[in-house]
Amino acid sequence: MSGKVAISLAVNGETIEALVAPRTTLADFLRQDIQLTGTHTGCEMGVCGACLVLLDDRPVHACLMFAVQADGCAVETIEGLTHRRAIDDLQKEFHERNALQCGFCTPGMLVSAYGILASGDEPDRDGIRDALSGNYCRCTGYESIVDAIETTARQRRQHMEEEKA
């Protein structure tokens, strides 16, 4: 195919230099070129949310952008969020509440949840359901996921209040 393009980006805090085909999506680059298989592809058209990653700390669909577009950016995946323990509380709540079954949507759900809670607000259940409207899960029926995010949000607020006090 047409010539490869040199890119340099930070993935989970590590600098990656790579040559990629211009048509390679960020999702394929993460999964195939650097073997970060925690990012999944479910529809490859930006509907299901399985491929969500953080691009400069904002959730984006890795299937809807090319790897070359991430040149110079900071990308964070489920592996990175786990490693820097940024979502320990979410993962624990998801686990205890059984807010996952097959787990294929879960990395994308957690990236969405990270985004929902990043503002520091405590969304209500309807707000959480709305914010998850781009994450498809076939297994759970969503309620447990809403519960886990709601509980985490409450705990984070309580934690902040305790710290203030």
Partner 1 sequence: MNAFAGSIDRPNSYIGRSVSRPNAKRLLEGRGRYVTDLVLPRMLHAAFVRSPYAHGKIVSIDIEEAKALSGVRAVFTGEDLASICAPWTGTLEHFSNMKSPPQVPLPLGKVTWSGQPVVLIVADSRAIAEDAAELVIVDIEELPALADPVEAMSAAAMSQELADNICFATKLDSGGVEEAFDAADTTVEQSFVFGRHTAVTLEPRAIVADYDPSENRLTAHHATQTPYQFQDVYSRHYGIPEANVRVIAPDIGGSFGMKLHVYHEEMAVVGASIRLGRPIKYVADRMESFVSDIHARDHRITGRLALDRDGRITAMDVDDLTAIGAFSSYPRTSAVEGNQVIRLMGAPYDFSSYRANLSVVFQNKVQTSQYRAVGHPIACAVTECLVDAAARELGLDPFEIRERNLIPDSSYPRTSPTGYQFEKLSHQVCLARLKSIMNYDALRAEQADQRQKGILRGIGIALFVEITNPSPAFYGVGGARISAQDGAILKLTPSGEVHCSISVTEQGQGTETIIGQIVADQLGIDREKVRVMTGDTDTTPHGGATWACRGAGIGGETALQAARKLKANLLAVAGLILQAQPGELDIRADWIVEAVTGQQRVRLSEVARIAFFRSDTLPPETQAQLSVVHHYAPQGYPFAFTNGAQGCLVEVDAETGFVKILKHWVVEDCGRIINPLLVDEQVRGGVVQGLGAAFFEECLYNEEGQLTNGSLADYLVPMACEMPDIEISHVETPTRDTELGAKGCGEAGTAAASAAAMNAVNDALVGHGAVLTQIPMTPTRILRALGTI
Binding site for partner 1 (CB under 8 A): 1, 21, 23, 31, 35-45, 47-48, 50, 77-79, 82, 91, 94-96, 98, 100-107, 110, 125, 128-130, 132-146
Q: Which is nearer to partner 1, 37 or 158 (CB)?
A: 37
* Sole residue written with tokens 């787990």: 103
Residue 103's alpha-carbon distances to 80, 94, 106, in angstroms, are: 17, 11, 5
Minimum separation from the CB atom of position 26 to partner 1 (A): 15
Q: Which is nearer to partner 1, 27 or 161 (CB)?
A: 27
* Listed residue (135, 155, 156, 154) closest to 145, CA to CA: 135
Are 1 and 18 in contact, with CB atoms under 8 Å apart?
A: no
Minimum separation from the CB atom of position 83 to partner 1 (A): 9
Q: Which is nearer to partner 1, 143 or 160 (CB)?
A: 143
Minimum separation from the CB atom of position 153 to partner 1 (A): 15
Contacts of 21 (CB under 8 A, 6+ apart): 1, 2, 4, 5
Are 34 and 11 in contact, with CB atoms under 8 Å apart?
A: yes
Minimum separation from the CB atom of position 161 to partner 1 (A): 27
Q: Which is nearer to partner 1, 42 or 115 (CB)?
A: 42
